[in-house]
Amino acid sequence: MRAKLKIWRGAAGEPGRFEHYEVAFEPGQTVLDGLRWIRVHLDPSLAIRFSCINANACKECMIRVDGKTVYACTTRLAQGDMTLEPLPNKKLIRDLVTEIAPPDERLP
Amino acid sequence: MLQADVLVIGSGGAGMYAAIAAARAGARVLLVDRSLIGRGGATVMAQMTVAVAVGEEEPDHWQHHLADTLKAGRGLCDAELSQLLCEQGPACIREMDEWGIGWARRDGHLAQVHAPGHDRKRCVYVDFLNTGPAVSKTLRARVQRIAQVQRVGDLLVTDLAIRDGVCTGAQAIHVSTGAAIPIAAKATIVATGGLTRLYARNSASLNMGGDGYALALRAGAELIDMEFVQFFPIGHLAPRLVGMDPIMWDPFRYKLGGRLLNAEKREFLPEGGRYVAARDLATYAILQEVAAGRGSPHGGAWLSFQHCAEPVLRAAFGPVIDRLAANGIDLTRQPIEVAPIAHYHMGGIRVDPDMRTGVPHLFAAGEAVGGANGANRLSGNAITEAFTFGRRAGERAAALAARIAMPEPLDHGCRRRGKTHFNPAAEIVSLQALMNTHVGPLRTRAGLEKALQDIMALAPLCAELPAPNEGLDAAWIDLHDLRNLRLVAECVARAALLREESRGAHQREDFGDTSEAWRKHQTIRLAGVELQLAS
């Protein structure tokens, strides 16, 4: 099975753009699996924040998939097109990474 | 620039407990983490129980807990550290109780269960799949209430600051912007956890890449027992399971037994449906079955709960059964596949019982410390170790800080930006595969030599760490991680090659027996770019 991922790329203050990637997957694999695969095989500059990988413990991989806010680690890859974007209501850092830390835990 | 009496690097159980203890002793604390505060690392992922001799379920004494810990450690525990863990454990567990963690209770007392390797019911828990998150949440809430603790996430410490051989803080990179941030501190505590990300099959979070070991080595500190990596025997292997930690089958086995089967659907451990085999023995047995061609399709063993009726499963694990169903798993109809996965590292930074490393003003705590668990960790000791060592390190670091002046920040100068001509994320994946194959639970001279050759070939790619590009530089983070992973991989492989015996988590197929002559530690330090091993 193949997923066609349309991923928003760019940093704060830059005009962003969508880039397209094709990811082969087995049923059950997640959007985070797909993003990790892209980083290893196609483009290590793609930024995505995560820590626990797929235990859904760290809550760091929150992004928008097809307009819905989800955890990348528990959302399954699907055959066909999927659009991945950073959270719209958080400050953009780069690509799919936004500022999600509580204000009092940021660098002063 | 940031400044504190006590700098704590890492905000898992050990780091947060250290911060609380240091602040309580009067220090101004800076708690930093490369991830979010209290959410990355190993503690938040712990799903299991916590071993502690509170004696509420049946009479107990810390000396009984110590005896079990030493026995599990196969003759290699640093007994003073083990004693600290066992003796101070009850006070920390009760303190966590006062802070509202909500340990499970039965008939008005703390509920304690029997875990493999313990001589009695000793292990407390919150909820079988929720103990780690509850620990993290309780400590996070506690830390947030202490004004003297400044918390800064998204800050990756790349090196400790060393002036005239003394630790004076650290050098860090602000991950989101790439800015270099010097930190001056009177005392510094490394609480960055272990190295299990080194292995392709692991239960680690992304930041368990041996950062603390690499920091300590480059600062001049000594590591100990680096060859002892605990593999958790029944990590989830197949079918694909998401939203759950891969060690989740352990509580199922506690409650329901379960049957571990080979390809012939035959039990190969003398368990009789109970959960009794120690971790190192179970790991070894599963891999022997795989090596003999009797493994499951994905290269592990079958774990079956088909003898349990649906109401029994649901009574034991309620909502978890629904989460399994969402993953297409029905335990009444199918066994799942499990395999050993890297889970914990017994080795680490060498400390004395005050958590002092060999470098003045540098302390360590938690899994980053080596020695308390010898060659094999007793089930339930990891969180207890995080609490007790964190608390001790925080107290001692604060006491030191009260006596000395604030050091000048160390100017590391400007690192040049460099362009990387390879994919560091891909190199990490290759290294993980190499380590799993040749430096995993079953080891041979030929395999270890092959691994070392490849590990050394990787050295020129990541000898130096350039400055990151401005903004979040994702490939630079991988390069940073690769550099630390490679150095730590070399430590594990070299120590494993020299240890010509089998003991606990270190199993040599070419030296199958435990040797009395090897009942000793190996230590490692860095001299220039060369690792020096001693025993």
The first and second tokens of residue B160, run together, are: 């400790």
Calculate mean pLDDT across residues B42-61. 91
Q: How many whole angstroms separate alpha carbon B375 and alpha carbon B504?
A: 5
Name the residue in chain A with its Cα closest to that of B427. Answer: A40
Report how many helices (DSSP H) and strands (DSSP E) chain B contains, helices first. Answer: 12, 19
> Residues with Cβ < 8 Å from B306, sequence gap 6 or more?
B331, B332, B333, B334, B335
The first and second tokens of residue B514, run together, are: 């435990």
In the set B34, B279, B443, B508, the catalytic residue is B279
Report how many helices (DSSP H) and strands (DSSP E) chain A contains, helices first. Answer: 1, 7
Q: Indicate yes or no: CB of B246 within 8 angstroms of CB of A94.
A: no
- Using alpha carbons only, what angle is made at residue B137 by residues B367 and B193, rounded to the nearest 5 degrees? 15
Calculate mean pLDDT across residues B355-366. 98
Work out the pLDDT band at B414, boundaries 50, 70, 90. Answer: low
Which one is predicted more confidently, B340 or B327? B340
At B65 the pLDDT is: 98
- Condensed to tens digits (0 to 9), the pLDDT of residues B465-474 reads 999 998 899 9
Name the residue in chain A with its Cα closest to that of B176. Answer: A93
At B210 the pLDDT is: 97
pLDDT beyond 90 at A55: no
Best A38, A52, A74, A95 residue to mutate vs chain B (most B CBs within 10 Å): A52
- Condensed to tens digits (0 to 9), the pLDDT of residues A6-24 reads 999 999 888 999 999 999 9
B256 φ/ψ angles, rounded to the nearest 5 degrees: -120, 0
- Cα–Cα nearest to B359, from B349, B367, B369, B368: B349
Best A51, A62, A73, A77 residue to mutate vs chain B (most B CBs within 10 Å): A51
Residue type, B427: E
pLDDT beyond 70 at B240: yes
Q: How many whole angstroms separate alpha carbon A47 and alpha carbon A63?
A: 12
Told to judge if B503 belongs to the known catalytic residues of this protein, a careful annotator would answer no
Taking all residues of chain B, what is their mean pLDDT, rounded to a whole number?
93
At B247 the pLDDT is: 83
Nearest CB among B241, B245, B478 relative to A57 is that of B245
- Condensed to tens digits (0 to 9), the pLDDT of residues B98-139 reads 999 999 999 999 999 888 889 999 999 998 678 999 999 999
- Condensed to tens digits (0 to 9), the pLDDT of residues B281-291 reads 888 899 999 99
Work out the pLDDT band at B72, boundaries 50, 70, 90. Answer: very high
Q: How many whole angstroms separate alpha carbon B512 and alpha carbon B492?
A: 19
Work out the pLDDT band at B347, boundaries 50, 70, 90. Answer: very high
Q: How many whole angstroms separate alpha carbon B389 and alpha carbon B386?
A: 6
- Report which secondary-structure segment, H or E, holds B3: strand B2-9
Q: Indicate yes or no: CB of A59 within 8 angstroms of CB of B39.
A: yes
At B128 the pLDDT is: 65
pLDDT beyond 70 at B413: no
DSSP B374: T
Name the residue in chain A with its Cα closest to that of B38. Answer: A58
pLDDT beyond 80 at B271: no
> Residues in chain B whose beta carbon is closer than 8 A to a beta carbon of chain A?
35-37, 39-41, 44-45, 132-133, 144, 151-155, 174, 176, 179, 181, 204-207, 239-246, 327-328, 423-426, 429, 471-475, 478
Q: Give the E-state strand segments of B309-378 in sequence order.
A: 336-345, 348-349, 362-364
Q: Indicate yes or no: CB of B152 within 8 angstroms of CB of A106.
A: yes
At B412 the pLDDT is: 67
B168 φ/ψ angles, rounded to the nearest 5 degrees: -120, 20
> Are the CB atoms for B395 and B420 separated by under 8 Å?
no
Please give the share of chain B, as a percent, with pLDDT higher than 70.
Answer: 99
pLDDT beyond 90 at B309: no
